[in-house]
Structure 1
Amino acid sequence: MPTKKDIGKAYLNYYTHEDENIQKPKKRGGVVRRLKRAFSVARNKGYLALKYGAVNGASSLTKLAGLYAYLQPILKSTLDFDAMYLRIRSGAKLLEIGCGSGRQLEIFRKLGWQAEGLDLDPKAVEIASARGLTIHFGSLEEQHFLGRSFDAVVSSHVIEHVHDPVGLLRECGRILKLDGKLVIITPNTSSWGHMWFRSHWLALDPPRHLHLFNSISLRRAAEEAGLKVLRLTSTVRDADGLFRASRDIQRTKRHVWGIRHSLGLRRWSRALQWAEWLLLQVGLDRGEELMMICGPNDENIRHCSR
């Protein structure tokens, strides 16, 4: 395992160094393409308004379009991730740990959160700050945030990168308000993809991933940190991309981010994603990601107040 002193060398060319906010030329297309794009935007906004209370001024017609997303479970998994599975509280304080270049943080802000970000990578912090976002540089412990100061703390694919995951969860619990929520997303070692690709599974990602979890070990880490697990499940979000990347590693020993795969391979990976979704419907914990929602432990709160 890399030491804390050396781990930064593994991130010199990490994907969070890309500024995703750079405007790319848009395909103008015809009337049909524009109508499809307009419907997709309305559908997504409507779903987020219906399920999570997004304060984006969604009209009744937009919400009607949002009902269509409930019929698309793969799309639904992506939209749930955009909201980070949290009911939106307009103006409430949210901290994203490991915000990278700030793409997700901008989504939180548009949804209505008073969102701040935190990252250890100076290049990523530079890119995110250039977007006008509130960004803190360094580890969570180094910020010395006041206790009970955030309504929500979220962290996507970060806990597997840290040397002390229980310590990170404990500090998250300290800064969380008594009615606040902590959301953790991380790869699932019990996933179908890991069983299928074994040592070629993309989410192993050595040497950056220091600790990997299944639902049992992630729950145990949260409980050791003094948190109460409110929900713990696995999802198929972006599983098709992970399947394609893992196949690249299996065949060529490497994966190039952003590569355009063939139509046949994209259809194959999407079929696997649907098969994995079916496994979840029969109660098998085989999704590629774990999603855990925690809150402060009531017993710990009562003990501290005595």
Structure 2
Amino acid sequence: MDSFTNHRRKDKVVFVMGATGTGKSRLSIDLATRFHAEIINSDKMQVYKGLDVVTNKVTEDEQRSVPHHLLGVIEPNAEFSALDFRQVAALAVESILRRDKLPIIAGGSNSYIEALVNDEEFQFKDKYDCCFLWVDVSLPVLHSFVSDRVDQMVQAGLVEEVRNMFEPDADYTRGVRRAIGVPELDRYFRLETTVDEPTRARLLAEGIDEIKANTCKLACCQLEKIHRLGDVWEINRLDATHVFHERGKEALEAYEKLVVGPGAEIVQKFLYEDAKLTTPPIVTATTIAGAATLAAAPPPIVTATAPSPIVTATNLAAVVAGATR
């Protein structure tokens, strides 16, 4: 199978941005399966171990065998700043490119993305061509969806997940405890064993409502940041609003037509615009047999002595140490 690096003039990186709940992870995985890519998570809460429901991490099944970097690898109480992300993500990009794959950086923490792209020391913009995709959903529709999604997360075990991490003297300004869904339930956990059932139900409902409100506030802040970045970067907007109005087969068709289809076209043009190719090598069901072999092969999760580390819990410390030296 031809690889995109055989035809490029400059290494290329794709970014998938958007507010919480818009489907960034889904799009990044769909693109990764088409373009022989690996994904670097840029969600500042999903980098941490634990609280998988609260932080809405993609499951192993949802990842569809696409390698993910910086997903659930940081200790829950550790600090992981935008500077830390910049250092580790830059190494992950280089590692992915050395394996002749496309780096896709996906997540809602735009401050992390900005720190990486605008880093003068690493000179990211000088090294790489960047393609920015923005999955957008109108705020009224998104707020309604976010409210329903919080209810689904509660049904999936959000309360029990947070209860298992609850500590009366916990610091909600550090680590994964900053995640929306954790501090909002503090009062409920402190009082649940000392009040009657109606009061417990009221306290829980108030905590859940606060989670919904804070998630909607986060979405607004994320959109404001994307609009500011759009004044500096060329960002390709994909309007997914109609997808959220549909259900079942109609939703899948709308997603293909309005999001993944146009997104794939943008990425294809971005990768091959400077190459004279009649048939760009996109990894699909009809790609030549070599693609299946490559896709089935497990990505190399490498030790500190190997040249191309996937950023996992077992090698993150070595990667960070190397980046800070």
- Compute the TM-score of the two structures, normalised by the length of structure 1: 0.33
- Structure with the bigger RCO (C-alpha within 8 Å, sep 6+) is 2
Higher strand share: 1
Q: Normalized against structure 2, the TM-score is what?
A: 0.32
